[in-house]
Structure 1
Amino acid sequence: MLKRLYIKNFTLIDLLDMEFETGFSVITGETGAGKSIILGAIGLLLGQRADTKSIKQGTDRCVIEAHFNLEKYKMKEFFERNDIDYDAQDCIVRRELTAAGKSRAFINDTPVSLSLLKELGEQLVDVHSQHQNLLLGKQDFQMEVVDILAENQTLLGDYAAQYERLQKKQHELHELEEQIRQNRQNQDFIQFQYNELQDAQLQEGELEELEQQRDMMAHSEDIKTSLFTANNCLTAEEYGTEPQLRKALSALNSICNILPEATAWTERIQACYIEVKDLAQDMEYQLSNVEFDPAEQEQIEKRLDTLYSLQNKHHVDTVAELIELRNKYAAQLQDMENGDEALDTLRNEIKQLHDNCEKLASKLSQKRQKASTIIEKQMHERLTALGMPKLQFKISINTTTLRRDGHDEVAFLFSANTSSPLQPIAHVASGGEIARIMLSLKAMISGAVKLPTIIFDEIDTGVSGKIAERMAEIMQEMGDKDRQVISITHLPQIAALGTVHYKVSKQESTQGTISKMQRLNEEERVNEIAQMLSGSDVSEAAIANARQLLKHS
């Protein structure tokens, strides 16, 4: 529940530091006093988008901070999952805005994203404004109400997982069908391209090897001349390296017995001699193999032309890319050949997923039908007590195609009297009737969803007298069940039933208009309720009436 709200430099609020209590509290104040400003500040704590215009004029930043007690609401998992310190007795949520346009959010002094702040905010506070009354006519909201009261959350999660898989497989099927259709349109072309590349018998590295062979043939005479010259330098009897090394070895061998160093030199020259002799033999062998063969050269040029032509045709630079393209065409042809089998496999998977979804959707529908009967009964009892004894309220559930929340269409049907036919609630209910219906639904939902704090912003619109008093009693009952209920109201009957009464007022100061909030004591409550009863001129009768209302509460 909300323990404390701190607001600084927000719109007309200079500084507000207010503590709140459990149970049912009320906030009153004249129109324009600043009640909506306080709600706006709370909205920022719940993750709403910020506007720098919200910062009080003449200041460079505003701060909004709230302290919550979470001991009874089992929310530790949220904090552990997001690596945030958890303090069940004092959870601090803060939002800071600067005039430069920067917005920062914190949970227990840990910086968090706006989306995470919003996720937590949805578990902490439910603000019901007059705008939310419009939700009553929305089918999604009506479905959500039924699912909450049917306790369908786990089943909805199971269904959503299956439905997401179904949609994914249906998308895969559509893409595969389109791919097969396009491939079959181009089948002859793909087959021709594949055959051409396959017939080319491509091998990686072949192009480079052929280019090297071509270059050798083109320079065969130069190669022969160079090899012959080099070989002569090594082997010629008069001046060749090999004969000279033999002579050196012979000379040194003759003195090895008398000059010890000659032995080492001999070994070194022997090694050189062997290396030179091997080189000479390799060159001689290569020289015998270097021949110009016009037929072979023509064959190499023809093969190179084939490879170059394929590269140009397919806009690639290497034979490896041609091989990759050939394999791609092969895979496409294989897909065409196996396309029907793949389609059948996907269709079988889709059928199985569809059957799973239908089974889960049927379970959802059964629980919704069961819950709707209970909701109809409780709504009739609650609304009768709120001055609508002849109402008709029915929840229509019709089966349709599978959707993200099952295969049901839910509609709230309503008639204020027994003689008029049931119609969609948004078409026939008045503002006062919608307010009473929404309060009744909220009271039912609050029993199923353990929200710490519920704020009603003038939910009493369109009602007065005994009906207003009964609405206040409902909110009071909601506040008695480990929950905090705060009602912003203009009606004295509701204000009198609050355990704690806060007043928002607007004052003029040297710095301009400012909005203030105070907690009223007993005498101040009497005066405030008397003023709500009689206007600015508070009479003795109004004061007596106010005391009677408070005494009755």
Structure 2
Amino acid sequence: MLVHLSIRNFAVVKTLDVDFSLGMTAITGETGAGKSISVDALGLCLGERADNAMVRTGAEKAEVSAGFNVKRLPEAMKWLEQHELADDDEVLIRRVISAEGRSKAFINGTPVPLQQLKSLGQLLLSIHGQHAHQQILKSDNQRRLLDQYAEHPALLCKVEESYKTLKQQQQHYQHLLQGQQQRDDRSQLLSYQIQELDEYALAEGEFVALETEHKKLSNSQTLLEQSQISFHQLYESEEFNALSAVQSSVDRLSELQEHDPSLEPIVTMLTEASIQIDEAAGELRAYTEQLEIDPMRMQNVEARYSQALDLSRKHNVQPEALYEFHQQLSAEFNELVKDDSLLEELKVQLSELEQQYHQAATKLSASRKKAAKSFAKDVEQHIHHMNMAEAVFKIDVEQQIQSSPNKLGLDTVQFVVSTNRGQAPDNLEKVVSGGELSRIGLAIQVISSSNNDIATMIFDEVDSGISGSTASVVGQLLRKLGESTQVICVTHLPQVAARAHNQMFVTKFSDKKTTETHMICLQESERIDELARLLAGDTLTESALANAKELLQFSNS
């Protein structure tokens, strides 16, 4: 509940500190005195837009603070804990506006962005302005009010989740569908390319081996001739060969080692050289024996090698990358085939999701229709008490099966009313007068307010256009609401003010240079004077005072 409101240099208010109590509190005062100042200030604490015009003339800044007790507001407590802003059972919201129009927001002394202020404010209080009645003429607001009355958030959540899932898959399907022609064209090209590469069937690493063999076969005659000559010079020549020459040098130098030991390393190296020459000659003999000139093999290798080069040029890739390129094309083709298959799967899935959405929307519609009867009955009972005894109020809920899915369901909700006997119910704006709309709107607000968890309700001159016995009924409604919820009502009607548990008076003072607004809590005798003023004007006659006293006593009996 709202515990305290502090205002500094806000509009015509220089300084104002007000404590609030449980129950219904009426705020009255002279026309133009600033009865709605407190409402405007609380609006800032809810995160409404700040303006430098709100800063009192000559002041550097305006400051508004609102203190709340959230002990019985579990959602608000949870929110504060989640944002690490909790401070026992109390919460202090402060808003500072500079003369330049810049603003800062604080929750329990911690600076916060405006969005957080709005988020918390929605859990603390709600403000119903004097133009709120006009909002009920809009179909979207009528549906929102019905959903609020029906208290079926789980059904709303299910419809919204079904809608989001359906919408997401529809977008995916459309994306695939739009690219189908491009995929078909690409698939045809890939199919031709892959078939050509499949027929060639180059293995991984084959081109490098093919290139090596091609070089060897192309030079096989030279390799054979030169290898044979080298073998002859190293080992086989009778006139002179390298192995005999080295071995002869080893023999001669070995005899000389006795005379000069320094020859020993040389002899060792020549001995090793002779061994290596002997081994190399053996390897060279084996090489020449296995080396053969095969024209048929050469022809086959030449053809395959040339085809690899042709394919690499055709696809603009390096020959050694041809195998990897082939694998990439195959992978891309498989993905395209998979997308086409997925398109068919999505088509089936969309049908199932649409069915799930319609099932959820139908359940929501059934709940709305059930709540509509009860809601309409409650509204009708209230307006009957407000001098609309012949009125018939109904809520039409029609499910538009052929409509496109919507996150709020498929229903159109329409409030219809007949204000006179024999008159067919029709849309509100076609039937009711301004005063009748005010009464219907107030009844709906009172009923809606009693169905939510907000601890503080503020009604800013919502009784505009109402008078007489109807005003008395409005006062009864607000007082009844105040028994379970803190109600603050800005009013000009004595019948409403008299019903309040507490009453505050707003007055304006001017010294011809500046203007100030003050708000005071009235005692019983002061309430009688104020009620008399509301009844008879500024001249307080004995008759007016007596009527005021009687009204106050009757209202609180």
Superposition map of 1:137-536 within 5 A = 137-184=137-184, 188-189=188-189, 191-192=191-192, 307=312, 310-311=315-316, 324=328, 327-333=331-337, 335-336=339-340, 338=341, 342-343=343-344, 345-401=345-401, 402-481=405-484, 483-508=485-510, 512-536=514-538
After superposition, the Cα gap between the structure-2 partners of 1:254 and 1:386, relative to the gap in structure 1 and judged at 3 Å, is: farther
The answer to whether the Cα contact below 8 Å between 1:67 and 1:93 also exists between their aligned partners in 2 is yes
Residue deviations 1:500-525, cap 9 Å, x none?
Answer: 11223333359733333222233332
Q: Is the 8 A contact 2:176 2:339 kept in 1?
A: no
Q: State the secondary structure of the residue aligned to 1:485.
A: strand
Q: Residue 239 of structure 1 aligns with which residue?
A: none
Give the letter aligned to residue 65 of structure 2. Answer: E
The equivalent residue for 2:15 is 15
RMSD of Structure 2 on Structure 1 (CA): 4.8
Q: Paired residue for 2:544?
A: 542
After TM superposition, the score normalised by the length of structure 2 is: 0.77
Q: Report if the CA contact (8 A) 2:26-2:490 is conserved.
A: yes
- Provide, for residues 307-338 of structure 1, a one-character-per-residue CA deviation record: whole Å limited to 9, x for no partner: 4664499xxx99978964664355325544x3
Q: Are residues 326 and 49 of structure 1, via their aligned partners in 2, closer, same or farther at CA, if it must alter by over 3 Å?
A: farther
Other-structure match for 2:242: none
SS at match of 1:515: strand
Most deviating of 96-105 and 42-51: 96-105
Equivalent residue letter for 1:539: T
Partner of 1:228: none
Deviations 1:97-135, CA, capped at 9 Å, x for gaps? 344654333333344332232222112111001232122
TM-aligned CA distance change 1:473 to 1:184, over 3 Å: same
Task: Look up the match of 1:225.
Answer: none
Residues 391 and 416 in structure 1, CA contact (< 8 A), matched pair in contact too: yes
Contact 1:69 1:88 in 2 (8 A): no
Distance change >3 Å, CA 195–CA 297, structure 1 → 2: closer
The amino acid that maps onto 1:352 is: E
Change beyond 3 A, Cα 1:510–1:379: closer
Post-superposition CA distance 1:76-100 (Å, at most 9, x none): 6633663324346312222333446
Q: Which residue of 1 aligns with 2:243?
A: none
1:227 is matched with none
SS for the counterpart of 1:130 is coil
Report 1:94-133 matches (<5 A): 94-99=94-99, 102-133=102-133
**Cα separation, partners in 2 of 1:127 and 1:309, compared to 1, 3 Å:** same
Partners of 2:205 and 2:516 in 1: how far apart?
84
Q: Distance in 1 between matches of 2:96 and 2:137?
A: 36
Letter in 1 for 2:462: I
Per-residue deviation, 1:417: 1.1
- The change in CA–CA distance for 1:477 and 1:326 in structure 2 (over 3 A counts) is same
3-state SS, counterpart of residue 167 of structure 1: helix
Cα distance in 2 between the residues matched to 1:50 and 1:395? 38
Indicate the SS of the match to 2:49: coil
Cα–Cα, structure 1 residues 331 and 500, in superposed 2: closer, same or farther, change >3 Å? same
Instruction: Give the count of matched residue pairs.
Output: 521
Q: CA deviation at 1:197?
A: 7.2
State the 1:74 CA deviation. Answer: 2.0
* Offset, 1:141: 1.7
Secondary structure of the structure 2 residue equivalent to 1:411: strand
Out of 130-139 and 327-336, give the one that drifted further: 327-336
Q: Look up the match of 2:231.
A: none
| Counterpart contact for 2:187–2:333, Cα < 8 Å | no
* Contact 1:194–1:330 (CA under 8 A) maintained in structure 2: no
Task: From the superposition, tell whether residues 179 and 504 of structure 1 become closer, same or farther in structure 2 (CA, over 3 Å).
Answer: same
2:131 and 2:524 map into 1 onto residues whose CA distance is: 33
Name the CA shift for 1:108/1:299 in 2 (closer, same or farther; >3 Å). same
Would you say the 8 A contact 1:96–1:103 is kept in 2?
A: yes
Give the Cα separation in 1 of the matches to 2:325 and 2:513: 76
Contact 1:311 1:318 in 2 (8 A): no
After superposition, the Cα gap between the structure-2 partners of 1:309 and 1:431, relative to the gap in structure 1 and judged at 3 Å, is same
Q: Is the contact between residue 397 and residue 414 of structure 2 (CA under 8 Å) also seen in structure 1?
A: yes
Conservation of the 8 A alpha-carbon contact between 1:432 and 1:460: no
Equivalent residues of 1:27, 1:486 under 8 A apart: yes
* Alpha-carbon distance, 1:42 to partner: 1.5
Change in Cα spacing, 1:510 to 1:171, as seen in structure 2 (3 Å) is same
CA distance in 1, matches of 2:505, 2:201: 91
Secondary structure of 1:403's counterpart equals: coil
Question: Given residue 452 of structure 2, which amino acid in structure 1 is its aligned partner?
Answer: V
Distance 1:197 1:15 in 2: 88
Q: Match of 1:4?
A: 4
Q: Residues 57 and 302 from structure 1, CA distance in 2 versus in 1: closer, same or farther, beyond 3 angstroms?
A: farther
Q: Give the distance between the partners of 2:141 and 2:437, measured in 1 at CA.
A: 14
Aligned CA distance change for structure 1 residues 305 and 517 (closer, same or farther; 3 Å): farther
Cα gap change, 1:326 to 1:382, in 2 (>3 Å): same
Q: Deviations over 1:11-52 (max 9, x none)?
A: 333232211111000112233333344322212221223334
2:400 alignment partner, SS class: strand
Q: Following TM superposition, by how much is the alpha carbon of 1:185 offset from its aligned partner in structure 2, in angstroms?
A: 5.6
Counterpart AA for 1:161: E
Sort the Cα spacing of 1:377 and 1:196 in 2 relative to 1 into closer, same or farther, 3 A.
same
Specify the alignment match of 1:32 in structure 2. Answer: 32
Q: Residue 41 of structure 2 aligns to which amino acid in structure 1?
A: A
TM-score by length of 1: 0.77
Inter-partner Cα distance in structure 2 for 1:198 and 1:113: 63
Q: Contact between 2:509 and 2:516, CA under 8 Å: does it hold in 1?
A: yes
Letter in 2 for 1:19: D
Structure 1: runs of 5+ lacking an equivalent: 221-234, 236-242
CA contact (8 A) 1:2 1:69 kept: yes
Distance of aligned partners of 1:455 and 1:200 in 2 relative to their CA distance in 1, 3 Å threshold: farther
Aligned residues of 2:8 and 2:16 also touching (Cα < 8 A): yes
CA distance in 2, matches of 1:27, 1:358: 49
Q: Which residue of 1 aligns with 2:230?
A: none
Using a 3 Å threshold, how does the CA distance of structure 1 residues 380 and 307 change in structure 2: closer, same or farther?
same
- Structure 2: distance between partners of 1:496 and 1:114: 37
* Counterparts in 2 of 1:484 and 1:328: CA distance versus 1, 3 Å: same
2:86 counterpart letter in structure 1:
Y
**In structure 2, distance between residues paired with 1:194 and 1:90:** 73
Contact 1:197–1:326 (Cα < 8 Å) also in 2: no
CA distance in 2, matches of 1:205, 1:110: 68
